Amino acid sequence: MSQTLTDNPVVTINAPQPATGERKGLTKKEIAADHPTWCPGCGDFSILALYFKLIEKRRLYHEKITTISGIGCSSRFPYFVQAHGAHFLHGRALPFASGVSLSRPDLHVFAFSGDGDAFSIGGNHFTHTARKNVKMTLVVMDNQVYGLTKKQTSPTSPLGFKSKTDTWGAVDYPINPAKQAIAVGATFVARTSASNPNHVLQTMEAAMDHDGFGFVHCLSECVEFYEGAFDAANPRKGGVFNEVPKTHDVTDELAAYKLASADFPGNFGILYKVKKPTKNAREMEINKNAQSKFTGLKDWQILQKTFERMK
């Protein structure tokens, strides 16, 4: 299932290759589409810019990637990128992205989501896409607030956060996304913050190179409705950006879980990374076995064989 995204990608569906032998990598100008509609100062700008940088750096082409999202501020993402994309339903980006990933091994699927989209309305899909290890890269831009609907409590809002739906302060215990991801069987779990661009790029790149479900939990401040939420993780605001200790064994699930449990701002970097067969690979294996019994037959002849038994 490993695939090269740069030169001559592996194509299993009869995709005619562009005639040009030497194709240049894309420039930022060629990748950028609509001007983002986010509020000035939003952390999401940084993530978009770094996505562009990733595409440039890794020489990904427009048609070889798909950018998929659900609903929310973060999920406007596909409109800002010149690539085949889909802006799908609230919470449902992951199953949609799985449909693309499982049927098109020649494409790399990036899904962008927010805390409400990924962990509240789409919580069930987060669990199951992770445990199935569907190959894709998921970046959740977590601002700990509902921004598009203007300041309601989100599943990651800390206790006591005052929103329009909890004017007295949030009373529900928040989700810890990294802990949850590890617990449900994600094979790549990393934390980063939009305030540290180099780290975001590095983390997205590592997630993209992971053969499986690569989950990046990215803090992304909403300056409009939750200003200063992540100051504690930002050295420029007097906080600390603690990277995952060099001694941490990323394949140690328990250690990763403990690291993910640290109080905010916690540790940034790859918390957990293991190699497990992807859903994509497992399905291909099933197909290979099934097809081995019908070598050389056209599809209609395979169906004919089934019908022979129904007479």
Partner 1 sequence: MSDTVTGAPTTGGANKVSRISEAVIRIAGNSQDGIQAIGGFLARLAGRSEQEVMTFMTIPSTISGGPSIFQVRIGSGEVLTAGDDADVLLAFYQHSYEGHINSLKKKGIVLYDADHVQPKPEWESEYHHVGIPISSLTVEAIGGTAKDKGKNIYALGLIAKMFDLNIPKLEKLVGERFTGKDPSVLNNALAAFHAGYANSPTNLLETFQFTDSQKKGAQQVVMNGNEAVAYGLIAAGVRFGAAYPITPWTDIMEILRRELPKYGGSFIQCEDEIASISMALGASFAGRVAVTGSSGPGISLKTEALGWAVMAEMPLVVINVQRGGPSTGMPTNIEQSDLNIGLNGGHGDAPRVVLAPANVEDCFYMAIEAVNIARKYSVPVMFLTDQGIATRIEAFSEPDLEKVCQDITPDLTPVPMHKAYDLAAKDGITHHVKPGTQILDGRYPIATGLEHDEFGHPTGSPKLHMQMTAKRRKKLQALGATLPLPKIYGPPEGNVLLVGWGSTEGPNREAVDRSRAAGDSVSSVHLRHINPLPNGLENIFSGFNHIFVVEMNDEGLYGYGQLAAVLRARYCDAKIQGINKTDGLTWKVKEIIELIKTKLRK
Contact positions vs partner 1 (CB under 8 A)? 11, 13-16, 18, 30, 33-34, 61-64, 66, 68, 78-79, 81-89, 92, 94-104, 106-107, 124-125, 127-128, 283, 286-287, 289-291, 293-294, 298-304, 306-307, 309-311
- Locate 210 and state its tokens: 């992971």
Shortest gap between Cβ of 91 and partner 1 (angstroms)? 8
Side chain identity at residue 203, one-letter code: T
162-169 CB contacts, 8 Å cutoff, 24+ apart: 163/225
Considering the complex, state which of residue 109 and residue 260 has its C-beta at the smaller distance from partner 1. Answer: 109
d(CA 185, CA 132): 8
Shortest gap between Cβ of 295 and partner 1 (angstroms)? 11
Shortest gap between Cβ of 6 and partner 1 (angstroms)? 15
Shortest gap between Cβ of 7 and partner 1 (angstroms)? 15
Considering the complex, state which of residue 4 and residue 14 has its C-beta at the smaller distance from partner 1. Answer: 14
Shortest gap between Cβ of 245 and partner 1 (angstroms)? 35
Considering the complex, state which of residue 126 and residue 230 has its C-beta at the smaller distance from partner 1. Answer: 126
d(CA 243, CA 199): 9
Considering the complex, state which of residue 258 and residue 282 has its C-beta at the smaller distance from partner 1. Answer: 282
Considering the complex, state which of residue 234 and residue 280 has its C-beta at the smaller distance from partner 1. Answer: 280
Shortest gap between Cβ of 58 and partner 1 (angstroms)? 18
Shortest gap between Cβ of 48 and partner 1 (angstroms)? 15
- Locate 218 and state its tokens: 């990215």
Contacts of 280 (CB under 8 A, 6+ apart): 1, 101, 102, 105, 134, 135
Query: How many CA atoms does the CB half-sphere of 40 hold within 13 Å?
Result: 0
d(CA 238, CA 243): 16
d(CA 300, CA 98): 28
Considering the complex, state which of residue 125 and residue 135 has its C-beta at the smaller distance from partner 1. Answer: 125
Considering the complex, state which of residue 22 and residue 263 has its C-beta at the smaller distance from partner 1. Answer: 22
d(CA 308, CA 161): 66
Task: Give the position of tokens 């300041």.
Answer: 151
d(CA 305, CA 48): 52
Q: Are 272 and 253 in contact, with CB atoms under 8 Å apart? A: yes
